[in-house]
Amino acid sequence: MLLKIVQVGEPVLRMPARPLTRDEIRTESFQALIELMRETMRDAPGVGLAAPQIGEGLQLFVVEDSREDPRTQREVVPFQVFVNPRLTIVDATPVEFFEGCLSLTGFSAVVPRALSVRVDALNHQGDPVSVEARGWYARILQHETDHLNGIVYIDRMRSRTFMSQANYARHWSEMTVEDLRKTLGDLAEGEG
């Protein structure tokens, strides 16, 4: 069974999610929810899914990434569950790449993210965990934590790079992000 992924404009995506107790985490129904989110994320397919995206205002997200790409510092991330996460920036150096969201189907944009972060959270059993991440994984963690605070990537994107994924593939995919931003910036009057 798959869960329905809600799209931007759904109020739950704009509200702060509520934290969970350890007792709640250890219930059968919560464990079943985690399993459904894993299946839904894999089917989408996506590398992260936050509870508000399936209509639940809970401080919960799951991640899993099976791809590698040295250009974006992307490495394999095993399936992991984060409950009540607290995100700390470790290295604030901004890194810019195209980013998408399962709640904004068909679009993407360049989003600056911190190079390195730490997330302190509870795992699927309600035990404390601390994860430090760099590059693409750090991007995923920032994106998913944002969802729990009612923030979507369009709030942080370089807005002139917002485009359909089809047009990205058609016109821009061969360009580096730096050149693309420069080109789009130069097309704008009064922008450097």
Total number of residues binding Zn ion (CB under 5 A)? 1
Nearer Cβ to Zn ion (25/101)? 101
- CB closer to Zn ion out of 62 and 101: 101
Tokens 């809600």: give the residue. Answer: 6
Name the segment binding Zn ion (CB under 5 A); options: 54-62, 101-109, 154-162, 184-192: 101-109
Q: Please say which residue, 101 or 163, places its beta carbon nearer to Zn ion.
A: 101
Q: Does 13 bind Zn ion (CB under 5 A)?
A: no
Burial class from Cβ neighbours inside 10 Å (0-12, 13-18, 19+) for residue 166 reads: exposed
Is 144 in the active site? yes
Q: Are 80 and 130 in contact (CB under 8 A)?
A: no
* Closest distance of CB 46 from Zn ion, Å: 8
Binding span for Zn ion by CB under 5 A among 29-37, 93-101, 116-124, 170-178: 93-101
Minimal distance in Å, beta carbon 55 to Zn ion? 14
Q: Which residue has the tokens 């693409």?
A: 136
* Alpha helical stretches, state H, 1-133: 22-25, 28-43
* 84: Cα within 13 Å, side-chain hemisphere: 15
177: exposed, middle or buried (Cβ count in 10 Å: 0-12, 13-18, 19+): middle
Scanning 64-72, 77-85, 94-102, 108-116 for contacts with Zn ion by CB under 5 A, the matching segment is 94-102
Catalytic entry in 10, 28, 39, 144: 144
For tokens 């910036």, name the residue.
185
Determine the residue with CB nearest Zn ion. Answer: 101
| Bridge partners (DSSP) listed for residue 61 | 50, 82
Tokens of 155: 């709030």
| Identified binder of Zn ion from the candidate list 101, 114, 138, 163, rule CB under 5 A | 101
Residues that bind Zn ion (CB under 5 A): 101
By annotation, the residues acting in catalysis are 144
